Amino acid sequence: MSHLSVYHDYDVPQDLQFKTADIIRLGGLDCSSKLSPNYFEDVFERPNKITQVRVELSFSVASKEILVRGKISGEREVQCARCLDMSRQPFAEEFLETYSHKQEIIDIMYLVRQTLALTEDIRFLCKEQCKGLCPICGQNLNEATCGCKPENLSPFAKLKGKFK
Ligand SMILES: [Zn+2]
Ligand SMILES: [Zn+2]
């Protein structure tokens, strides 16, 4: 068995707690796994949720540290900030982190959850050109138009009309 062998069939712990000693003994590790979405139920605010998660990890052992490169991909169900419809969207994120050899456990779950949580700071849209809801009757303007004239609503809109 070569010291630098890479084990693609390594049994990835579902909770992503890797033993530092194992990684050092293997001289590095490349692995990937599909994870249960249960681990990520509380990462997003409801009604948004993560429905599929897959991780790809690459551990490199240096003299004092272990470098971890990771890719997270999957699917999320999120509410559009304009029309409030739910839509399924694929996502893909990457991270890079170093750990000391002295740490007993490399907690990749923490890293994955943090990375996913940060993506929620972005306002989700069902599509870039989402027309949103009519502020008067609530019609989803992506599906149909309504007879309302929102320009009569705000004084700003009236002003804009004057200078046409
Ligand atoms: Zn929308
Ligand atoms: Zn309307």
Compute the 3-state secondary structure of the chain and give helix, strand, coil in percent, each to the nearest 5.
Answer: 20, 35, 45
Residues with CB under 5 A from ligand 1 (ion): 80, 82-83, 126, 130
pTM of the entire predicted model: 0.77
Share the mean pLDDT of the chain. Answer: 87
Three-state SS for 117? Answer: helix
Q: Which residues surround ligand 2, an ion (CB under 5 A)?
A: 134, 136-137, 139, 146, 148
Above 70 in pLDDT, residue 6? no
- Give me the amino acid identity at 51: T
Determine the Cα–Cα distance for residues 137 and 134; give it in Å rounded to an integer.
6
Distance 134 CA to ligand 2 centre (A): 5
Q: Are 55 and 98 in contact (CB under 8 A)?
A: no
Is pLDDT above 70 for 162? Answer: no
| Residue pLDDT, tens place only, 43-92 | 999 999 999 999 999 999 999 999 999 999 999 999 999 999 999 999 99
Q: Within a 10 A sphere around the Cβ of 93, how many other Cβ atoms?
A: 14
Given a cut of 90, whether residue 154 has pLDDT beyond it is: no
More confident site: 126 or 4? 126
Task: Count other C-beta atoms under 10 Å from residue 12's C-beta.
Answer: 17
What pLDDT, on the 0 to 100 scale, is given for residue 3? Answer: 46
User: Which amino acid, 18?
Assistant: F
Contact 142, 130 (CB under 8 A): yes
- For residue 126, the CA-to-ligand 1 centroid distance in Å is 4
| Among 28-37, 45-54, 121-130, the least confident range | 121-130
- What is the Å distance from ligand 2's center to 137 Cα? 4
**C-alpha 93 – ligand 1 centre gap (Å):** 23
d(CA 130, ligand 1 centre) in Å: 5
DSSP SS3 for 124? coil
Tell me the H-state helices in the chain. Answer: 20-26, 108-118, 155-162
| Sequence ranges of the domains in the chain | 17-129, 131-164
